Structure 1
Amino acid sequence: MEKMTDQQLIEELRERFDMNRRALQDLQTMTRKLESVNNKLQDSEALKSQFLSNIRNEINNPLSSIMGLSRQLMDSSIKDPAKAASIIHAEAFSLDFQLRNIFIAAELEAGEAEPSVSRTDIAGLVDGTLDLFRYLADEKKLKIDTQVPDELLFVTDAEKLQIVLNNLVANAIEFSLEGGKISVVAQCSDGQLILEVIDSGIGIAPEHQEKVFDRFRQVESGSTKGHRGHGLGLSIIRAACDLLGGNVELESDLGKGCRFSLTLPEIESEMTDVLAKDGNFFLFDEGEKY
């Protein structure tokens, strides 16, 4: 073996030192990444625990009311049956809404949700959603304004769009102050549907605006939580928009309400003979298309 000169030995040592230094840097980088992943997992577990606590209340409270009031109705021991029936309906509606959100969130998370395309009557869909939530808006004396063309037909997934709109309207009502105003605006521009839900409620601070779209995330939590919900609604909105090739944007400031703007591209489909109106689907023969 040829004897190394002093210079060659120095170069060899320098090269090995550099290799060790790079390996140490790589190890430090990997350690930081692992720490970051670990922190995210811990945050995720904390959010899931908070979600489970919230959803337990969101399900148990309506169920308890329904069971208690229905028992009183069965025993004929209640003085105002009409009022009791109204409360039962409200609690059942709340429970149904929460469960539907859980089911669609599970489908979206598992990648099992697929677009089901139809020509959608946007005005009918908006009216149907507002009719569903009218009693909640009336309880808070909210004025609801709509600006939707009567003949606005758009090819998209009517069911997914209805879920998105339901959550946007429910969110607007929940966070609006009594006597406030909610606006629903829709238009079609350059082959895209632009749908906006605007409220004059408590608003969202800029530093929280991206976080509210995270699953299970709520700005308020624990003993400071003053609003219903379990932190799924806005994450469902974003996931459904992604599924349909669109996006949702939020404009807000604390104390100045929120503007949620949804933009969806029209989906190419041969099923233009299916019309979705108010969540229902109708088939037309060739001669009945318009």
Structure 2
Amino acid sequence: MKYETNSITLESTDTYFASADRSDISHIRSLNTLVESTPYIKNLIDAMPFVVVILNSNRQIVAANQKVCSLLGVDIEDALGKRPGELIGCIHADDGPNGCGTEAHCRVCGAVNAILDSMNSNNKVTEECRVTLHNGSSLDWEVTTSSLAIEGHSLICMGVQDISHQKRRNSLERTFFHDIINQLGAITGFVRIMADEHIESEELEEIKMLTDELLEEVQSQRNLTLAENGDLVPKLEPVEIKLLLERLVQLYQSHPVAKGRTIRISVPDKLILRTDAQLLKRVLANMIKNALEASSQGQTVTASCDCIDGLVSICVHNAAVIPQDVQLQIFNRSFSTKDGLGRGVGTYSIKLLGEKYLKGDVSFTSNAETGTIFSITLPLHTD
């Protein structure tokens, strides 16, 4: 698609970035009439739950969906002919010699760059855009643009989603995890110093174990947050499966959920897997905890491991049977059979961490003959 104005253009060369040319208001209104009279376009953009505007080749608004008008409290007539930054009140729109897109800061504006990229490539383009408004507030946008042709007119459809809340949350989470891990690291260090100085007692050993486990738990929560955001980078290292499972058994034997229940492991000696130890521990810990919660007092939870043809399969078994309607939702985020907020991430995290980041295969079976078995199968050697 070749972009041509197909309009009366008021020419101006004053710009620090994008073209300063503008179409006159009569042509803008004619394009608005064209879009409004094309039902599938109007109905489609009005169905979108986020801001959508249609721009001409001079980046001016020729149509907008109902979300724009309700969000900004304007009529479509107020938006026609303006560029996006001018409509929302970007602080740089008035600083440029010819409005939005012509100021020096516009060179790094995700919205302007997305529009121009779609014009040049005819492709869908997605960019992040940080906007400061005249009222002092700041917004983080995700802008998606795509070329659109109606009766020979080359237009751009631009969708805008406000990701400010997500950005703020990510920033707060990074700060929280950074600070609390530093504090826990300091506490753990002092406990280890006391242990190294031969101040021996059962209580000190218990404190040492609990601080180590608390630090790992916080790190695991941070890893899950990173994983959901797509930012987690696994740290591969040799992991002896038997030692890892023995440590988990030691952890859960004193946990209230294991009261009256037995945990047994059946794993070959010296079976070493190259993987991320912390992520695998998180996956197996969730499997064991879920199995204990599902078991009745007097029952046994078994963790076993086999290595066949270069694949390591680690399984956790309990005698209970998962109801069919629960099985159909078992890996869905936020689904839980337990009441309360913050539930429903255990089996979800098993699947997410086990498959996306450990490159394994996570599955389960549950029936009256065999009970319930959760398993993760991993390559013995990972490049």
Distance 1:268 1:96, change over 3 A: closer
Distance 1:139 1:266, change over 3 A: closer
Compute the TM-score of the two structures, normalised by the length of structure 2. Answer: 0.43
Does residue 122 (structure 1) correspond to residue 236 (structure 2)? The answer is: no
Aligned counterpart, 1:288: none
How much does 1:162 deviate?
1.0
- 322, 330, 335: which one aligns with 1:217: 335
Aligned counterpart, 1:144: 263
Q: Name which structure has the greater RCO, CA cutoff 8 Å, separation 6+.
A: 1
Q: In the alignment, is the contact (CA less than 8 A) between 1:164 and 1:236 conserved in 2?
A: yes
Look up the equivalent residue of 1:265 and give its one-letter code: P
Aligned counterpart, 1:240: 353
How much does 1:94 deviate?
9.3
**SS at the partner of 2:314?**
strand
**SS at the partner of 2:305?**
strand
How much does 1:196 deviate?
0.1
Q: 1:255 and 1:174 mapped to 2: Cα distance?
A: 20
Structure 1 unaligned spans of 5+: 1-22, 35-83, 270-290
Look up the equivalent residue of 1:146 and give its one-letter code: I
How much does 1:138 deviate?
8.3
Say which structure is richer in strand. 2
Distance 1:154 1:232, change over 3 A: same
Look up the equivalent residue of 2:378 and give its one-letter code: L
Compute the TM-score of the two structures, normalised by the length of structure 1. Answer: 0.55
Look up the equivalent residue of 2:344 and give its one-letter code: G
Say which structure is richer in helix. 1
User: RMSD across aligned C-alpha pairs, in angstroms?
Assistant: 4.0
The Cα offsets for residues 92-121 of structure 1, whole Å up to 9 and x where unpaired, read as: 899778645532220111112112111211
Aligned pairs, how many? Answer: 194
Distance 1:208 1:93, change over 3 A: farther
Q: 2:307 and 2:281 mapped to 1: Cα distance?
A: 17
Distance 1:221 1:185, change over 3 A: same
Q: In the alignment, is the contact (CA less than 8 A) between 1:212 and 1:219 conserved in 2?
A: no
Does residue 259 (structure 1) correspond to residue 373 (structure 2)? The answer is: yes
Q: In the alignment, is the contact (CA less than 8 A) between 2:257 and 2:289 conserved in 1?
A: no
Larger Rg: 2
The Cα offsets for residues 193-214 of structure 1, whole Å up to 9 and x where unpaired, read as: 100000123x321222242212
Q: In the alignment, is the contact (CA less than 8 A) between 1:241 and 1:247 conserved in 2?
A: yes
Distance 1:109 1:126, change over 3 A: same
Distance 1:174 1:97, change over 3 A: farther
Distance 1:187 1:143, change over 3 A: same
Does residue 231 (structure 1) correspond to residue 349 (structure 2)? The answer is: no
Look up the equivalent residue of 1:131 and give its one-letter code: Q
Does residue 179 (structure 1) correspond to residue 293 (structure 2)? The answer is: no
Matches within 5 A, 1:155-166: 155-166=274-285
Q: In the alignment, is the contact (CA less than 8 A) between 1:105 and 1:232 conserved in 2?
A: no
**SS at the partner of 1:211?**
coil
Q: In the alignment, is the contact (CA less than 8 A) between 1:118 and 1:157 conserved in 2?
A: yes
